[in-house]
Structure 1
Amino acid sequence: MKSSAKNISLNSYDDIFSTEETREDEKREKVTDMPLSELHPFPDHPFQVRDDDSMRETVDSIKEYGVLVPAIVRPRAGGGFELISGHRRKHACELAGLPTMPVIVRDLDDDAATIIMVDSNIQRENILPSERAKAYKMKLEAIKRQGARTDLTSMQVAQKLSVEKVGEDAGISKDQVRRYIRLNELSPQLQQMVDDKKIAMTPAVELSYLKPEEQTLLLDTIESEQATPSLSQAQRLKNFSQDGHLNEDSMLAIMSEEKKPEKNDLTLKADKLQKYFPKSYTPQQMEQVIIRLLDGWQKKRQRDQER
Structure 2
Amino acid sequence: MKSSASKIKMTSYDDLFGRNEGAICSLNSENAIQDIELSKLFPFSQHPFKVLDDDKMEETKESISKYGVLIPIIARGKTDGNYEIIAGHRRKRACDLLGLDTIPTIVRDLDDEESTIVMVDSNIQRENLLFSEKAFAYKMKLDAIKRKAGRPKNNGDQVGYNLEGKKSIEVVAEQSGESRNQVQRYIRLTELIADLIELTDERKIAFNTAVELSYLPQGEQEMLLSKIEELAVVPSMAQAIKLKKYSTEGSLNEAVIDAILLESSDKPVSVTLKSEKLTKYFPQSYSKEQIEDVITTLLEKWHSEHK
Letter in 1 for 2:242: R
* Structure 2 counterpart of 1:223, from 203, 206, 229: 229
Contact map agreement 2:24 2:72 (CA 8 A) in 1: no
Q: Which residue of 2 aligns with 1:49?
A: 51
Distance 1:270 1:75, change over 3 A: closer
Q: Which residue of 2 aligns with 1:249?
A: 255
Is residue 35 of structure 2 the alignment partner of residue 33 of structure 1?
yes
CA distance in 2, matches of 1:208, 1:159: 30
* SS class of match (2:150): helix
Is residue 185 of structure 2 the alignment partner of residue 186 of structure 1?
no
* Structure 2 counterpart of 1:134, from 88, 111, 136: 136
Distance 1:58 1:262, change over 3 A: farther
Distance 1:205 1:266, change over 3 A: farther
CA distance in 2, matches of 1:189, 1:94: 30
How far has the Cα of 1:159 moved from its partner?
9.8
Per-residue CA deviations over 1:103-138 (Å, capped at 9, x if unaligned) read: 001000100000000010111112111111111100
| CA-atom RMSD in angstroms | 2.5
CA distance in 1, matches of 2:237, 2:269: 7
Q: Which residue of 2 aligns with 1:261?
A: 268
Per-residue CA deviations over 1:40-68 (Å, capped at 9, x if unaligned) read: 11111111110000000100100001000
Is residue 171 of structure 2 the alignment partner of residue 165 of structure 1?
yes
* SS class of match (1:149): coil
How do 1:208-219 residues align onto structure 2 when only pairs under 5 Å count? Answer: 208-219=214-225
Unaligned runs of 5+ in 1: 1-17, 152-156, 278-289, 292-307
How do 1:85-100 residues align onto structure 2 when only pairs under 5 Å count? Answer: 85-100=87-102
CA distance in 1, matches of 2:136, 2:19: 25
Letter in 1 for 2:103: M
CA distance in 1, matches of 2:106, 2:271: 48
Per-residue CA deviations over 1:26-50 (Å, capped at 9, x if unaligned) read: 3132111111011111111111110
- The number of residues matched between the two structures is 255
How far has the Cα of 1:96 moved from its partner?
1.4
How far has the Cα of 1:168 moved from its partner?
1.3
How far has the Cα of 1:250 moved from its partner?
1.3
How far has the Cα of 1:19 moved from its partner?
2.8
CA distance in 1, matches of 2:91, 2:226: 40
Contact map agreement 2:73 2:87 (CA 8 A) in 1: yes
Q: Which residue of 2 aligns with 1:23?
A: 22
Letter in 1 for 2:22: R
* Structure 2 counterpart of 1:124, from 95, 101, 126: 126
TM-score scaled by length of structure 1 = 0.77
Contact map agreement 1:231 1:262 (CA 8 A) in 2: no
Contact map agreement 2:44 2:84 (CA 8 A) in 1: yes
**Comparing both structures, which one devotes a greater share of its residues to helix?**
1
Q: Which residue of 1 aligns with 2:70?
A: 68
- Greater RCO, CA 8 A, separation 6+: 2
Unaligned runs of 5+ in 2: 1-17, 154-162, 289-307
CA distance in 1, matches of 2:269, 2:74: 45
TM-score scaled by length of structure 2 = 0.77
